[in-house]
Amino acid sequence: MISAWARALVGAGVATLLMALSTSTLSANASPVLLTRLGSVQEVPIDLEARASPACAEYVVIATRGTFEAQGPTPALSGMTNYTLGNITGGIAYQTVYPAGDWTHQLGADDIVRRIEQGLTDCPAQKYVLLGYSQGATATAIALYNYTDINSAGYKAIAAVVVVGNPAKRANRISNVDQVGGSWTNGTNGVYIKLVPTIPDVWYSTKTLDVCWADDLVCNGLNFFSVINLMINHLLYKVASVQNLGAAHIIKQLKIALA
Ligand SMILES: *[C@@H]1O[C@H](CO)[C@@H](O)[C@H](O)[C@H]1NC(C)=O
Ligand SMILES: *[C@@H]1O[C@H](CO)[C@@H](O)[C@H](O)[C@H]1NC(C)=O
Ligand SMILES: *[C@@H]1O[C@H](CO)[C@@H](O)[C@H](O)[C@H]1NC(C)=O
Ligand SMILES: CC(=O)N[C@H]1CO[C@H](CO)[C@@H](O)[C@@H]1O
């Protein structure tokens, strides 16, 4: 069942999507117990890119891609990553190393946390920007549970968070914006709200932007238009306007953190 749903997440057919919805979203009994993790997934080797980078950076952008995207930058986050690196010198980008297969968000979170912990030890002044798309938003949310103490070094070092197409977006949060920075999708929960961890309360703050495209089924939930659109609006985040929206948030928060 979860395979069908995960495939729907990357744009599979109508029948698959509706089947997945009817089994996992619409059922009052939908339970994480039914959702098994792949037994064959291997732990992945620690980040090569960042280890090869010279000493410490001013900041590290940690970007986590969505389900079934190939290891590397996702178009849903690479524009805002590039604009940030272009506007504020001294940064590097790190692509979270994880399989991005069915239900592998914990492995993504593990790698994000490992990268931050390595940085906190080796480079105490370094800041972090966490970006996540789709399953990558869930991995980012899980990682943030390690940094909920606002007096901790980790909390202070994470300057900004941007998630797009967040499967467990929570309704009516200060961080919520639609694709043009408005409030169209503010009042809705993501379809996975009861199935995967959502962003911790303390991170629904001015540091975080949770971008949900109107009628993106994944983050905006089930409604007439999201069913008509199926997964299309989940695939639109790469457009320049959304990338600029994310970049503007990151740049503003990074400047505060680096000041
Ligand atoms: C971001 O920069 C990388 C490296 O220069 C480039 O390959 C990629 O096409 C850029 N992506 C966007 C969306 O600007
Ligand atoms: C700086 O960021 C803005 C978005 O805030 C972006 O439009 C612009 O291209 C960025 N500049 C560089 C050099 O990356
Ligand atoms: C979304 O709702 C929250 C809670 O009511 C509010 O603080 C926030 O400003 C709203 N966002 C937008 C873009 O209107
Ligand atoms: C307290 C806490 O949330 N710890 C978590 C830190 O991150 C790792 C990796 O994701 C988790 O396994 C821990 O549970």
Q: Is the pLDDT of residue 50 over 50?
A: no
Q: Which of 129, 162, 239, 244 to mutate to test the pocket of ligand 2 (most atoms within 8 A of CB)?
A: 244
Domains of the chain: 4-46+53-58+74-129+143-205+222-240 (3.40.50.1820)
Q: Looking at residues 75-98, what average pLDDT do you find?
A: 97
Cβ 80 under 6 angstroms from ligand 2? no
The answer on pLDDT for 98 being more than 80 is yes
Model pLDDT, residue 224:
83
Whether 88 lines ligand 2, by a CB cut-off of 6 Å, is: no
Location of structure tokens 């590097």: 92
H or E, element range at 8: helix 2-9
Report the length, in residues, of the chain. 259
What is the structure's pLDDT at 71? 97
Residue 138: pLDDT band by 50, 70, 90 thresholds?
Answer: very high
Span 121-143, mean pLDDT?
A: 97
- pLDDT band (50, 70, 90) for residue 80: very high
pLDDT digits (tens, 9 = 90+) for 172-193: 999 999 999 999 999 999 999 9
Confidence of residue 125 (pLDDT cuts 50, 70, 90): very high
Residue 172's identity, in one-letter code, is N
- Exposure string over 121-159, b if 16+ CB within 10 A, otherwise e: eeeeebbbbbbbbbbbbbbbbbbbebbeeeeeebbebbb
Q: In what order do the strands lie in the sheet with 176-177?
A: 91-95, 59-64, 127-133, 158-164, 208-211, 176-177
pLDDT tier for residue 104 given thresholds of 50, 70 and 90? very high
pTM across the whole model: 0.84
- What is the pLDDT confidence band of residue 227, given thresholds at 50, 70 and 90? confident
109/9: higher pLDDT: 109
Residue 83 CA: nearest ligand 1 atom is 14
Whether 83 is in the pocket of ligand 2, judged by its Cβ within 6 Å, is yes
